[in-house]
Amino acid sequence: AQQPPDSCQTLCDCLEAAKTVKCVDGNLTAVPPDLPPYVRNLFITGNRLARLPAGAFPAQRLPDLSALNLSGNHLRAVEAGALAALPALRQLDLSGNPLVSLSPLAFGESGSPLEELALRGALRDHGVLLSLATLLQSGALRNLSRLELADNGLLLLPAGMFTALPALRQLDLSNNSLVGLRNVSFQGLGQLQSLDLSDNSLGVLRNGTLAQFRSLPALRRIGLGHNAWVCDCAIEDLVAWLKESDQVEGKEALTCAYPDKMLGKALLKINSSDLNCSVPVDLPSQLQTSYVFLGIVLALIGAIFLLVLYLNRKGIKKWMHNIRDACRDHMEGYHYRYEINADPRLTNLSSNSDV
């Protein structure tokens, strides 16, 4: 039976004609148990729902609930089965909640008809990001067409995070701290139309990523603005792709952030002559080259020394003989004096002769 009007009005703003219920800024700590069954749009925002337990929404009591906004509720945990009993759910907004736990079974074991999921600013905890990846990869949200992951400070994305989202049309990764997309696969997103990567820390897009972009037939809007593009030799492939592609919105405004000499230069205006693309030599090879050069120098000095010795061999031989003779004469003198001092007769004779 339909609930009496007053039971809804006490905690929320219930608008039956619009099939909407708003429970806003009411310090609620749990989902009201007596929500009217006519509700299609439910706003429970700005409250203090620390957790969303299993059965938070009465089973089969909200058959028409299509849009659920739970943003800004201080939610920390969404437990298994918390959103399982909503057969018509198409839009869910969990933005602005400091989630630390998101169960991969939050939508139950049979999955959900959900089409739009917003998690703006709700994935600051790395463990929650991994749980979300597990949830998405499980196939529980195969009908998802829009996924919003902006404002989460994300550095890297779990590998294969989007592989089980064949219906995805819009993916928002803006305003994060993404430094690369090497382990991110967009394969299988044949319906993807819009990809927002603006306001991140991307320095370059590699050939593998560019090839994926080329292979997605529906992808017509890619946002790349406000990234930290590094304009060295590694950016040549990206520049070539930008010049030929019509997928990037506002590509004329993309500029270099590094190095200093390229700061502010438009990516579309970069030519090979602007980049010092000689084959880079890393430090170990530089040291190896230095050691080889030092060995050559020492070998050359040794060869010159031996050559000088060879050219002066006669003089050196004579010099050696002279030294030997001098040493021999010197030693004979010491030997003679020793014999005189050792023989008393010779000592007396020497003394008498002096007298």
pLDDT, tens digit, 9 for 90 and up, residues 151-169: 999 999 999 999 999 999 9
Question: Is the pTM value of this prediction over 0.85?
Answer: no
What is the DSSP pairing of strand 116-118 with strand 146-148?
Answer: parallel
Q: Residue holding tokens 């090979």?
A: 272
The token duo for 97 is 């909640």
pLDDT at residue 45, rounded to an integer: 97
What integer pLDDT is reported at residue 322 of this predicted model?
A: 80
Q: Are 158 and 133 within 8 A, CB to CB?
A: yes
Q: Cα separation of 279 and 1, whole Å?
A: 77
Q: Which helix (DSSP H) or strand (DSSP E) does residue 117 occupy?
A: strand 116-118
pLDDT at 355 over 50: no
Assess whether the previous peptide bond of 217 is cis (omega < 30° from 0).
no
Q: CA 53, CA 39: separation in Å to the nearest integer?
A: 21
Give phi and psi for 90, each to the nearest 5. -120, -30
Q: Residue holding tokens 């945990």?
A: 77
Q: How distant is the alpha carbon of residue 43 from its chain centre? A: 36
Report the half-sphere exposure of 165 (CA within 13 A, side-chain side).
Answer: 27
Query: How confident is the model over 55-79, as a mean pLDDT?
Result: 92
Alpha helices in the chain (DSSP H): 5-9, 126-137, 207-215, 236-244, 283-311, 313-342, 344-354
